[in-house]
Structure 1
Amino acid sequence: MSRYDVTNSEGDFQPGGEEGVLRNRLGLTRKQDIDDAETELLQALYEFVLSDSREILTFDDIKRWHHLWLGNLYEWAGSLRTVNMSKGDFHFAAAAQLPRLIGSFEQELLNRFSELSEMDDEAVVQYLAQNHVEFILIHPFREGNGRLSRLLMDTMVIEAGFEPLDYQLWEDNKDFYFKSIQAGVAGNYQYIECLVRDVLEQQV
């Protein structure tokens, strides 16, 4: 089964590939081969992004990261998805709403990136939590949103003076994590704030 349900034709999947393998430039048909390729490319992206100092952060930067990461695999890398997506009964933002939601995300959150170094720890927690929830709810890309959201988070924590985070706690509490994301639909970020606070405290 695919991790997500998508309202599109089967043409987006690799002909002759295992179930859930998306159509790709390399003609890979095995899920393990796709996973390995994505993981290797993501590591290279991390090294590039986290070594690059910046004063501002825009959504165009995030689109560029996505293209740098998956451009060798997928034609649509770096482009906003054009299909609706859901996970179980939970629906992410409708594709038609992405430009509007991304505009608000950039104006209300990304534009405050330069303030991170001046925030106290609790303000950092709140900022990171809201950024993460809203990015996941928007789910801007066809693939890789969760992993890219962590790169975005790590870029922000470095700007705030911390080291990249260990997300094992989130992996160990996936049900609580996903319920925390769902709570964010109503603007309730307290649960994801707990998870962010916990991983930051592990560093200390």
Structure 2
Amino acid sequence: MDPISGILRNLVGAKTNTELAAIEADLVAARLIQLRDSVSIEPTRDLLEFQAIHRHLFGDIYPWAGQIRTTDLARPGNEPFCPVHLIERAAANTARELHDDASMQGLGHVDFVAKLSYYYDGFNHIHPFREGNGRTQREFWNRVAADAGWFIDWSKVHGDQLNEASRIAREFQDYKPLDSMFTGCVDPSSP
């Protein structure tokens, strides 16, 4: 981050947060289409996959795309995200659990939603990047869900709802708000 302007270091020459957000939205949307249509990222279901997705989505914008953050972060008024020195260990533990759960394959709707809420919270708390965690995580879970026979309609998820459900899960280990949110947006994949 530039200490004077407060703008994240970027490759697009953006000088304001508004300008950066607009450019970022356009470039990430194009890279997301490309990722879904023609780019192959190995489904390792771990931090390496997260990093590869992030690098692809944000590589035109940030020189540090795909790299683990080096500063501790917190959302205003919330508990901090995973400390930097624990990111890799926490991600390995969460990925191991996901692997042990066969990446949630073969589950019915209720069980899939419950597991998705749990793992979403785990990776959300890890928050491995300085910026772009939500978009990276959504694409990661789209990939996991598709392989398990499910589709997540993120258009039914609203930012404030997701932030509050995530806060409750992180602070109280109460996944009911995430479960409720995901119940309304997880559907079987089309054949």
- Counterparts of 1:112 and 1:165 in 2: how far apart (Å)? 26
Report the TM-score, using the length of structure 1 for normalisation.
0.78
Q: Taking structure 1 as reference, are residues 43 and 54 closer, same or farther at Cα in structure 2, changes over 3 Å only? A: same
Alignment pair present for 1:68 and 2:56? yes
Contact 2:41 2:53 in 1 (8 A): no
Q: How many Å apart are 1:103 and its aligned residue?
A: 1.0
Gap change, CA 1:77 and 1:143, over 3 Å in 2: same
Task: Give the drift of 1:182.
Answer: 2.1
In the alignment, structure 1 segments of 5+ residues that lack a partner are 1-11
Deviation at 1:60, TM superposition (A): 0.8
Please name the residue that 2:93 is paired with: 104
Q: Percent identity?
A: 20
Aligned counterpart, 1:13: 2
State the aligned residue count: 186
Give the Cα–Cα distance (whole angstroms) in 2 for the partners of residues 148 and 115 of structure 1. 17
- The letter for the 1-side match of 2:86 is Q
In the aligned structure 1, how far is the partner of 2:43 from the partner of 2:64?
28
Residue 146 of structure 2 corresponds to which residue in structure 1? Answer: 158
Q: What letter corresponds to residue 183 of structure 1 in structure 2? A: I
Please tell me the residue identity of whatever aligns with 1:100.
R
2:163 is matched with which residue?
Answer: 178
TM-score by length of 2: 0.82
Q: Residue 30 of structure 1 aligns to which amino acid in structure 2?
A: T
Alignment of 1:1-204 (within 5 A): 12-13=1-2, 17=5, 20-51=6-37, 52=40, 56-90=44-78, 91-109=80-98, 111=99, 114-171=102-159, 174=160, 176-185=161-170, 186-200=172-186
Greater shift in the superposed pair: 129-138 or 113-122: 113-122
Look up the equivalent residue of 2:110 and give its one-letter code. Answer: E
Corresponding letter in the other structure for 1:187: Q
| Structure-1 separation of matches of 2:34 and 2:102 | 20
Matches of 2:114 and 2:123 in 1, distance apart?
14
Measured in 2, the distance between the counterparts of 1:23 and 1:49 equals: 24
Moved more, 48-57 or 58-67: 48-57
CA RMSD of superposed structures (Å): 2.7
More moved, 125-134 vs 44-53 = 44-53
> Shift of the alpha carbon at 1:122?
1.4
Aligned AA (1:93): C
Contact 1:170 1:195 in 2 (8 A): no
Alpha-carbon displacement from aligned partner over 1:50-84 (angstroms, at most 9, x marks no partner) = 34596653321210111112122212111110101
